[in-house]
């Protein structure tokens, strides 16, 4: 199966190795990966901040960058959920763009969702001998509806011990620009998230959302805590 790959801007800029690991895993799963180097951002940060005119321009570019009627795999349920659910709002007064909006919305799919529900793969032959806990991103859980798929994949990683996070439906405090605009509230939320993770005895906090991991990792490093963060693709790529 040939798929297009969308790498979110924050992975491209901050976690490029994760992007490569996504390719590695997809190819191991048998997918033929097509990557358009002209791609940039889906426009979610500006949309969430209320700059819809800017978001519309970014979205127009996204539609042009992904012109094919085939699946668009993205290692972020947050980005996938935004494109699926909000591009219609951006272009509700532009009927000439609706066909492209519907095509992209129909085709975009989160990375673990694609592996488990499209390819039917739950075991990639990965090995990771560590104790981990899993963080459900708010957008992944509530907007996209992702929960079981990453856990099914982690359950089949040799040597991995998954310890569920207390209050795992609670936000980490990232929330896009929320962590910048409401620093004290965000700091308190991420402190609670990391303390809950530490209580499990886990060595790593794993998530499908690199955006959440930015906030979590910054708190961990600032406080020199004995736990690390990893995107699920970085775990699955160990085979």
Does residue 142 share a domain with residue 48?
no
Whether residues 103 and 157 share a domain: the answer is no
Same domain, 225 and 143: yes
Task: Please give the pLDDT value at position 49.
Answer: 87
User: Could you tell me the pLDDT band of residue 119, with boundaries at 50, 70 and 90?
Assistant: very high
Task: Look at residue 23 in the predicted model and tell me its pLDDT.
Answer: 98
123 belongs to a structural domain: no
139 and 107 within one domain = no
State both tokens at 215: 């906030």
Same domain, 158 and 190: yes
Helix pair 210-223, 183-199: axis angle to 10 deg: 80
Task: Kindly state whether residues 114 and 6 are assigned to the same domain.
Answer: yes
| pLDDT tens for each residue of 19-47 | 999 999 999 999 999 999 999 999 999 99
Alpha carbon distance 199, 121 (integer Å): 31
Domain boundary residue, one of 118, 153, 175 = 118
Q: Which two tokens stand for residue 209?
A: 């959302």
Q: Mean per-residue pLDDT for 100-117?
A: 98
Residue 223: pLDDT above 80? Answer: yes
pLDDT over 70, % of the chain: 99
Same domain, 42 and 137: no
How would you list the strands of the sheet with 161-162, edge to edge? 161-162, 131-135, 204-207, 228-231
**Quick one: 114 and 215 in the same domain?**
no
SS3 204: strand
| Sheet with strand 32-34: strands edge to edge | 32-34, 2-5, 72-74, 108-110
- Tell me the CATH number at 152: 3.40.50
- Could you give the CA distance from residue 100 to residue 38 in angstroms, rounded to a whole number? 18
15 with 38, same domain: the answer is yes
Whether 218 is in a domain gets the answer: yes
Cα–Cα distance list, 51 to 54, 59, 86 (Å) = 6, 12, 13
Which of residues 68, 95, 118 is at a domain's end? 118
| pLDDT: which is higher, 118 or 172 | 118
Q: How confident is the model at residue 48 (pLDDT cuts 50, 70, 90)?
A: confident
- Is-contact 42 59, C-beta < 8 A? yes
Cβ(175)–Cβ(212) under 8 Å? no
Residues 139 and 80 in one domain: no
Helices (H), the chain: 9-14, 16-28, 44-48, 52-65, 77-90, 98-107, 111-113, 138, 148-155, 178-181, 183-199, 210-223, 232-236
pTM of the model: 0.95
Looking at 118, 141, 174, which one is the last position of a domain?
A: 118
- What total of structural domains would you count in the chain? 2
Domain that holds residue 112: 2-118
Q: Is residue 226 part of a domain?
A: yes
Let me know if residue 124 belongs to a domain: no
């Amino acid at each position: 199966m040939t798929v297009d790959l969308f790498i979110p801007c924050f992975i491209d800029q901050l976690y490029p190795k994760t992007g490569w690991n996504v390719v590695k895993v997809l190819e191991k799963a048998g997918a033929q990966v097509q990557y358009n180097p002209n791609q940039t951002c889906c426009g979610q940060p500006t949309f969430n901040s209320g700059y819809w005119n800017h978001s519309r321009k970014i979205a127009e570019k996204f539609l042009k960058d992904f012109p094919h009627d085939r699946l668009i795999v993205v290692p972020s349920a947050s980005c996938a959920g935004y494109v699926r659910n909000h591009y219609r709002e951006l272009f509700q007064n532009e009927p000439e763009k609706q066909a492209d909006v519907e095509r992209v919305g129909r085709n975009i799919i989160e990375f673990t969702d694609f592996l488990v529900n499209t390819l039917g793969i739950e075991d990639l032959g990965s090995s990771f001998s560590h104790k981990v806990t899993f963080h459900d991103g708010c957008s992944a859980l509530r907007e996209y509806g992702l929960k079981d798929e990453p856990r099914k994949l982690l359950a089949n990683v040799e040597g991995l011990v998954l310890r569920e996070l207390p209050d795992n439906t609670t936000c980490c405090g990232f929330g896009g620009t929320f962590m910048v605009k409401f620093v004290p509230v965000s700091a308190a939320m991420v402190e609670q998230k990391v303390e809950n993770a530490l209580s499990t005895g886990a060595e790593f906090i794993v998530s499908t959302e690199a955006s959440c991991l930015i906030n979590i990792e910054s708190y961990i490093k600032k406080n020199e805590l004995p736990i690390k963060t990893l995107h699920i693709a970085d775990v699955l790529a160990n085979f």
